Structure 1
Amino acid sequence: MAIDDYWYKNAVIYCLNVATYMDCNGDGIGDFEGLSRRFDYLAALGVTCVWLQPFGCSPNRDNGYDISDYYGVTPRFGTSGDFVECMNTAQALGLRVVVDLVANHTSIDHPWFQSARADPRSPYRDWYVWADKRPRNHAQGTVFPPGQKTTWTRDKKAGQYYFHRFYEHQADLNTHHPAYREELYKIMGYWLQLGVSGFRMDAVPFLVERKGANVKPVKDFALLQEMRRFLQWRARDAILLAEANVPANESMHYFGDEGDRLQMMLNFPVNQRLYYAFATHDPKPLKRALRDTIGKVPRDAQWVQFLRSHDELDLGRLTEEQRAKVFNVFAPDPAMRLYNRGIRRRLAPMLGNDRRRLELAYSLLFSLPGTPMIQYGDEIGMGEDLSLNEREATRTPMQWTDEPHGGFTSAKKSVLPVYRFRKAAMISLHNFSDAAQTLHLKVREKGGERLIDLIGSEHSRAGPRGSHEIALDGYGYRWFRIGGVDETLIRASY
């Protein structure tokens, strides 16, 4: 199932919520017309792919992840016609668009659930997961502790308990039901026809899990293969990007040994160890995470590297001791913490609004193997509002100007140049300490006696013993190239 176009491997992804990005009609809520007017900013920033969070019809109890209509758009953002015009604008600027596909659950207000609860003979009854009695383990596996107490809630009208991995207003779908899967592919086909370049899916480990009161929760990855097969048939260059916060040794189950499942996954193992390195100045766990993830993926697959996302900074895969160290540095106030595992803060405030540390972080993001993803507002150093509830602290409106309710105006000019050299390798060095360091580096690759500075002009020649002496400021970083031919290398030879 080889893909025709590996565009996603060279992409820069930008995640945003239409509701909080740009309001065009003055109603205080972002809309598609406002987003369309800001696509030129994103293109100038160097973004090549925009990830849109849910924009379908929804009661909006969970930022649109409580979907009530898979085929429409919420009137808060505009009409389906506005969405199509938005897509046309993006395509004219060379921007691809990936949209959130909420495939694991629906709102309890969705017509499917309303039909299912009203009549046990409804064709939608088995699209959800029911039990006559609340299972003994109903309090296990909650996603949002301590507020979420159970994963099974009684519906009076149905006379049964329904399963919900997330909030009780989000009923889990029986994702192994054949009729639901057929409908899922119709939904995917609809949005592909409107020009999207793929789908980002939330909580994929739950999506592939077999669900039920007396069912062993084994994971069946056939669904991912079927979804990928459908994409290959309908749009060969469309992708599946997943959130699957699993240990690195389980990632191949999601990519598929033959690369026939997901094309992209957010790299949580690296993300969590990255913050541990920032907090402790100890990069060893980060190095292990990189070894465990990079290079162990099929040809068609790619990791997505990120610093922050729209959710809390999830530290659940760290040890308790490691997590405590990160909390102590980046979330010293308990009000900054969430669900006993995460931090509800933006990137810039966590790093003390220290430009050196922010530049170090972004240098890592853009030099690690994989596709970089930026959360809206992080490019301008936006902060959080801890007075807001839970994850809403980091989901405040984008700041565009210095006017009321704004805060920032951007220059439409690229910030980071892109260097491409044939037959060349790159070395990136990063100092996680605030103290200056000197590194003695031996480069064994051919041409390693010369290192060409890709950002500045401080090229390096190996000393008599074949070692380069590289100075790094506190939180400093250097990018070097090995090999290749250009004028800089020729001048350095004399």
Structure 2
Amino acid sequence: MSDWWRNAVIYQVYPRSYQDDNGDGVGDLPGITRRLPHIASLGVDCIWISPVFTSPQKDMGYDVSDYCDVDPLFGTLADFDTLIETAHGLGLKVITDQVLSHTSDQHPWFKESRVSRDNKRADWYVWADPLPDGSPPTNWHSHFGGPAWEFDPQRGQYYLHNFLAEQPDLNFHNPDVQDAILETCRFWLDRGLDGFRLDTVNYYVHDQKLRSNPPAQKGPQVMATDLYGMQDNIYNKNRPENLEFIERLRALTDEYADIMMVGEVGDMGDRSIKLMGEYTQGKHRLHMAYSFAMLSPEFSADHFRSCIEGFQQGAPEGHPKWSFSNHDVERHVSRWADHSVSDDDMARLACAMLMSFEGAIGIYQGEELGQTETELVYEELTDPPALRFWPAVKGRDGCRTPMVWESAADNAGFSTGTPWLPVKAPQAARAVDIQGAAGTILAFYRDAIAFRISNPALQKGRTTFLNLPEPLLAFQREAEGQMITCIFNLSAEPQSLTINGEASLIGPKNSELAGHGLTLPGNGFAYLHHSGELRLSA
């Protein structure tokens, strides 16, 4: 078996918003297939496709009602097979989201489970009696607001839902549930899928004793709403038994050649880095994991260093995946705008940083265009948390608006119909068709990815950080006799460094090297190649 995934660059496709080929305003599988050459031209290794399974679409496909079929909104199983075959022909691996912690309330399993307390699937979901006063069994919050429990009068019990009430949580303490879930994963592996992105991978198992969470020790951390972060969420997720199922899932994937699993660790701060380590430890758990640590508003050298060093120390045998954007967070060019000279400068800096990080790298569609967050009004929203808590919560629609292909075409070439989310002028101005030339963000991404691939130090080298003051992030990577020092200015103000040693600038750069002086403009960066010791001072 190969380790193709270790240094892979993985491109996320959000199917609703990539390319609509049938004119209904929603992206589909034939549309993705048509646009695969664009993805291949970036030089990436793999595509991750967000859910396309049968679903009522209450949470845009993350509420699955049939794990083993494609929703007609996106196409057919035959369309899926064609996509895999075409991608493989272009040298691209394909992984899909697997949403295993919960189903839709329209899934046949849940419909049967809620009928009575003694049917064959009665214990397939997390059911519990009300407390004596009728209140929910625990104090756990839902990510989407309100209690994580919904009362069902048919059973006279509450059921657990960490997200929408229409997304009941499966009971992974039941071995029959685990067996059934594993069979759904086998279905896709048998169709030639190359692996899974595991949604909310630390949520599968709940505390069987149903203990309430204590208050958060470090103050609230805002996620979908601020209430969730006011608890130390130790009983509704992150349970030690969770690892036992992951090990069963790894054993299944090991029956196939060259399969990769990457888990989304739904947590924040130091705990998320610790969990990434636990979940990737050894060769019997996940191949790699990522968290929201680098998907946050934090933008400092100390933050990025602490994320990477924390993982190195907590999981010396584990493997990370690092991303700056995805379908759940504000696009990073907009999120970090306070630290940028311009949107384009931030786009280049972020790309240069990502391509130098040790581990696998994730790119979210449109990131290669320097795409910014779309500003929406309430009437344009579709995201449940935003609809419920607007304007305090803007939701995730702003990062999910359609991919832009042709700047002058209707809907920027995404659809001939009315798009499910609008395509606005600032986004259309970054279309693919006007970014082919040198100097564009798209050209920069292609060059930066090629640079990463062609240099052993950036592919395999261990990371050693250099002690420079904020806002400078600097580290060295070395492999196969090659040593590269990577330096990034995380501010809009110019920075100057003195170099002790002989070095030369290589690869993409936004800096000037004259003698022993290195000048970094705002959001500047440099890759220094050297054979001997190199010391930097600010």
Relative distance call for 1:137 and 1:404 in structure 2 (3 A) is same
Q: Aligned residue for 1:173?
A: 170
Q: Aligned residue for 1:240?
A: 261
- Kept in 2: contact 1:48–1:94 (CA 8 A): yes
What letter matches 1:392 in structure 2?
A: D
Task: Map 1:211-360; keep pairs closer than 5 Å.
Answer: 211=208, 213=210, 218-220=239-241, 221-233=243-255, 235-244=256-265, 245=267, 246-256=271-281, 258-272=282-296, 275-277=297-299, 282-294=300-312, 296-299=314-317, 301-312=318-329, 344-345=330-331, 347-348=333-334, 350-351=336-337, 353-360=342-349
What letter matches 2:24 in structure 1?
A: D
Q: Aligned residue for 1:316?
A: none
d(CA) in 2 for partners of 1:296, 1:138: 31
Answer yes or no: is 1:375 the counterpart of 2:397: no
Relative distance call for 1:96 and 1:212 in structure 2 (3 A) is farther
d(CA) in 2 for partners of 1:209, 1:425: 46
Q: Aligned residue for 1:332?
A: none
d(CA) in 2 for partners of 1:94, 1:84: 15
d(CA) in 2 for partners of 1:224, 1:127: 18
What letter matches 1:285 in structure 2?
A: H
Shift, 1:208, TM fit: 3.6
Relative distance call for 1:14 and 1:231 in structure 2 (3 A) is same
Shift, 1:212, TM fit: 5.8
Q: Aligned residue for 2:220?
A: none
Task: Map 1:5-404; keep pairs closer than 5 Å.
Answer: 5-134=2-131, 138-144=138-144, 148-211=145-208, 213=210, 218-220=239-241, 221-233=243-255, 235-244=256-265, 245=267, 246-256=271-281, 258-272=282-296, 275-277=297-299, 282-294=300-312, 296-299=314-317, 301-312=318-329, 344-345=330-331, 347-348=333-334, 350-351=336-337, 353-382=342-371, 383-387=373-377, 388=381, 389=386, 390-402=395-407, 403-404=409-410
What letter matches 2:244 in structure 1?
A: A
- Kept in 2: contact 1:103–1:201 (CA 8 A): yes
- RMSD of aligned Cα (Å): 2.5
- Kept in 2: contact 1:120–1:158 (CA 8 A): yes
Deviates more, 1:75-84 or 1:286-295: 286-295
What letter matches 2:99 in structure 1?
A: V
- Kept in 1: contact 2:279–2:285 (CA 8 A): yes
d(CA) in 2 for partners of 1:349, 1:129: 37
- Kept in 2: contact 1:176–1:210 (CA 8 A): no
- Kept in 1: contact 2:272–2:291 (CA 8 A): no
SS of residue matched to 1:199:
strand
Answer yes or no: is 1:409 the counterpart of 2:467: no
Q: Aligned residue for 1:479?
A: 527
Relative distance call for 1:457 and 1:287 in structure 2 (3 A) is closer
Number of residue pairs matched? 428
**TM-score of the pair, normalised by structure 1:** 0.80
What letter matches 2:349 in structure 1?
A: L
Deviates more, 1:362-371 or 1:348-357: 348-357
Which residue of 424, 429, 437 corresponds with 2:495? 437
- Kept in 1: contact 2:495–2:519 (CA 8 A): yes
d(CA) in 2 for partners of 1:267, 1:441: 35
Identity across matched positions, percent: 30
d(CA) in 1 for partners of 2:162, 2:512: 54
d(CA) in 2 for partners of 1:458, 1:167: 48
1:106-151, Cα deviation, whole Å (9 max, x unpaired): 111110000111132221111101112156564433323xxx2111
SS of residue matched to 1:439:
strand
Shift, 1:483, TM fit: 3.2
Shift, 1:54, TM fit: 0.6
**TM-score of the pair, normalised by structure 2:** 0.74
Shift, 1:349, TM fit: 7.0
d(CA) in 1 for partners of 2:401, 2:511: 41
SS of residue matched to 1:153:
strand
Relative distance call for 1:393 and 1:212 in structure 2 (3 A) is farther
- Kept in 2: contact 1:453–1:459 (CA 8 A): no
d(CA) in 2 for partners of 1:267, 1:129: 25
d(CA) in 1 for partners of 2:209, 2:105: 18
